[in-house]
Amino acid sequence: MPDKNTKKADIFAVARSAAVSPSTVSRYFNHPELLKSTTRKRIDNAVRRTGYIRNRAAQTIHGIRSGTVGVLVPTLDHAIFAEVVQALSDTVAAQGFTILLSSHGYDLQREYLILRKFLEHRVDGVVLTGLEHDEAVFQLLDSQGIPCTLMWNYSNKSRFPSIGADNQMAAKLITDHVLSLGHRRVACMLPPTDGNDRALARRDMILATLRAAGITVPAHWSLQTVYSISESKKDAIALFSQPDLPTALICGNDILATGALYAAKAAGLNVPQDISIVGIGDFKGSSDIEPTLTTVRMPARRIGQETGMALVRAIVEPAEHSNESLHCAPELIIRQSSMRPRL
């Protein structure tokens, strides 16, 4: 138990412990990117040894950075978001920043409330997932003048700088692949689009590309399935139980495609001989499942790294880096789960 008579550590105690000047300690908290990593590590150890806690409220009143960035994602259940957030976190940490992470469950009203909490904690910048957000979110960010980067989707017309992949391009890549193999009997398994502009962009482009090829997906081959392997397996088993089967199934993401692969096996179908199954994402495991999954790679790690770097630059040098958007192009990955239909 701490001694009540022990004087609380101050910045001078940290400086003595780290063998640096008090101004260097101050720089560690307020401008960590200006220090060498070895110096940051030495001061970090000194902070831990002394038990120093700085008064954030007093500092933020005077305009000093908090050293934190707020990151809002739709969910923490999906492996792809874990990958992109980890890359983002590692990138900003290398520059002396820490992330505050939260999810809104595809509820854009809840996103607004979480954003307010982030701002109350005086974050130095904010990362939002996707391009579409409630207007109140954009107005709040504008009124606070805080750096914001939109992650995962890309558009050259986005309200704030966006770093990510073009979901319409990804959807067209996978649909064109299915069409190039000669498939005409095509089914779709797509996730709900409420609060999810990524799913909406993919759905619209998949259906538009099929229509342009003269293909209309029948209602009983058009499935809306939540982001779950078990649910997609259940829905795909129902699809595969019908007397008239498609020769190809386009899934809106790799999770749905994985469930469909399990369903095909349960239904006694051979993939891709009896039906081709494709996804979008190239999640971890998509290259390990049997058969390996044909998909479109969304470069999650690169998106996370580039987002982290862009946000830090916008915080540190706002005048020079106010509108950094970047397209991380999706890539078609052809594996074992797709082939030409049998005649």
DSSP string, 40-90: HHHHHHHHHHHT----HHHHHHTT---SEEEEEES-SS-HHHHHHHHHHHH
- Which CATH code is given to the segment(s) 68-165+300-328? 3.40.50.2300
Q: Say what the pTM is.
A: 0.75
Q: Which CATH superfamily is domain 167-298 in?
A: Response regulator (3.40.50.2300)
Total number of residues shown for the chain: 343
Question: Under a CB-based contact definition with an 8 Å cutoff, are residues 76 and 45 in contact?
Answer: no
Cite the beta strand spans of the chain per DSSP E: 68-73, 98-103, 125-129, 148-153, 162-165, 186-190, 222-224, 248-251, 276-278, 295-297, 326-327, 331-333
**Fold that domain 11-54 belongs to in CATH:** 434 Repressor (Amino-terminal Domain) (1.10.260)
HSE-CB at 96 with a 13 A cutoff on CA atoms is: 26
Q: Can you give the pLDDT of all 343 residues of the chain as single tens digits? A: 333 444 567 888 889 999 999 889 888 887 888 899 999 999 988 887 887 766 554 555 445 678 899 999 988 877 788 899 999 999 999 988 999 999 998 888 899 889 988 988 889 999 999 888 989 899 888 888 889 999 998 888 888 999 999 999 999 999 999 999 999 999 999 999 987 888 999 999 999 999 999 999 999 999 999 988 999 999 999 999 999 999 999 999 999 999 999 999 999 999 999 999 999 999 888 999 999 999 999 999 999 999 999 999 998 887 665 667 899 999 999 999 999 998 7
Non-local CB neighbours of 4 within 8 Å, separated by 6+ positions:
none
Q: Do 68-165+300-328 and 167-298 agree at the fold level?
A: yes
Token readout for 327 is 């397209």
Count the neighbouring beta carbons within 10 Å of the beta carbon of residue 171. 27
Domains in the chain: boundaries: 11-54, 68-165+300-328, 167-298
